[in-house]
């Protein structure tokens, strides 16, 4: 967020460097049921982000001391592949991944009927194949579809998207340049049926007015993502989704 640049990120006509309007998200592609072994899976592209999510479970919980006798626990592992970013990432878990894994699992807890599976674990794996600003939202969006694809009972599906600020404008779904040289980033995820927020982070600099606008934009963006999530799941079932099992 703290980068500075001479680059004009939003021009006089309110157009962004990739031609989008401020409240327009990047192209989004969602596909459900893309992996044969996983109980559920999804592939998501948001702009140049490419993300795979897989769900295994409900299954026996390891390590056992994490078992909850009243409900299933959701364990999430977000992982950036080494070549997904411009500087090679070292393999293995870093602090950023740990944080994202934690808040992603927490966001999913709200909608999964974990109480149906005491002592079990529902394991969510998110692999970032290519990163271009917005991977945590793309990952959560994919994970949510993968959970539904796994047939795990859910109250709703969770869509996620970021709003933010660049060149002084509040914008939806920042791309890499806007993220690097902008002034704020607000990744968020909601429960669409109630607009409750299940994931929210913010960093940068925003007035209350700007932030309110970002949230409004983000909620609308989430609903757009939600529509595409549902379409992906519909396609999955109409295509005879269990073909590769």
Partner 1 sequence: MSKKIISEIRRDHIFNLLKEGKRSDGRKLDDFREIKFETGIIESADGSAVVEMGKTKVTAGVKIIPGTPFGDTPNLGVLTTGAELIPLAHPDFESGPPSPESIELARVVDRGIRESGMVDMSKLCIKEGEEVWMCFLDLYAINYDGNLFDAFNLASVLALKTAIIPNEQYGKGEDVPLPITCLPISVTSAKLGSSLILDPNFDEENISSARLTVTTDDDGNFRAMQKGGQGSITLDELSHCLDMAVAKGEEIRKLIG
| Residues found near partner 1 in the complex (CB under 8 A) | 1-2, 35-38, 48, 50, 52-54, 56, 59, 65-66, 77, 79, 81-88, 91-93, 95-96, 98-99, 101-103, 106, 109-110, 123, 125, 127, 129-132, 186, 191, 194-208, 211-212, 215, 219, 244
Q: Tell me the closest approach of the beta carbon of residue 66 to partner 1, in angstroms.
A: 7
CB of 244 to partner 1, least distance (A): 7
Q: How far is the CB of 12 from partner 1 (least distance, A)?
A: 26
Residues 226 and 220: their CA atoms lie apart, in Å, by: 10
Please say whether the beta carbons of 148 and 159 come within 8 A. Answer: no
Rounded-to-10 torsion of CA 222, 204, 44, 83: 180
Query: Cβ(181)–Cβ(159) under 8 Å?
Result: no
Give which of 3, 7, 5, 9 is closest to 174, Cα–Cα.
9
Residues 112, 118, 119, CA angle at the centre, nearest 5°?
110
Q: Which two tokens stand for residue 2?
A: 């703290």
- Give 91: exposed, middle or buried? Use CB within 10 Å, 0-12, 13-18, 19+: exposed
User: Which residue's CB is nearer to partner 1, number 13 or number 69?
Assistant: 69
Closest separation between CB of residue 238 and partner 1, Å? 22
């Amino acid at each position: 967020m703290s980068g500075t640049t001479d680059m004009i990120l939003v021009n006089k006509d309110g157009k962004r460097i990739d031609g989008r309007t401020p409240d327009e998200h990047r192209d989004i592609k969602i596909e459900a049921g893309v992996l044969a072994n996983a109980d559920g899976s999804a592939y998501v592209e948001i702009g140049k982000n490419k993300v795979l999510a897989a769900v295994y479970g409900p299954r026996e919980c390891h390590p056992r001391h994490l078992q909850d006798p009243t409900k299933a626990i959701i364990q999430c592992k977000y992982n950036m592949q080494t070549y997904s970013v411009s500087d090679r990432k070292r393999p293995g878990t870093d602090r950023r991944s740990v944080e994202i894994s934690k808040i992603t699992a927490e966001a999913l807890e709200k909608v999964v009927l974990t109480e149906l599976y005491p002592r079990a674990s529902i394991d969510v794996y998110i692999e970032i194949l290519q990163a271009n600003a917005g991977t945590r939202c793309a990952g959560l969006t994919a994970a949510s579809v993968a959970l539904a694809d796994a047939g795990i009972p859910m109250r709703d599906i969770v869509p996620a998207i970021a709003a933010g600020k660049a060149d002084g404008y509040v914008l939806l779904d920042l791309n890499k340049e806007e993220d690097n040289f902008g002034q704020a980033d607000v990744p968020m995820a909601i429960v669409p049926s109630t607009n409750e927020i299940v994931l929210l982070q913010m960093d940068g600099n925003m007035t209350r007015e700007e932030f309110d606008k970002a949230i409004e934009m983000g909620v609308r963006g989430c609903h757009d993502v939600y529509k595409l999530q549902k379409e992906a799941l519909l396609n999955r079932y109409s295509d005879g989704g269990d073909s590769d099992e």
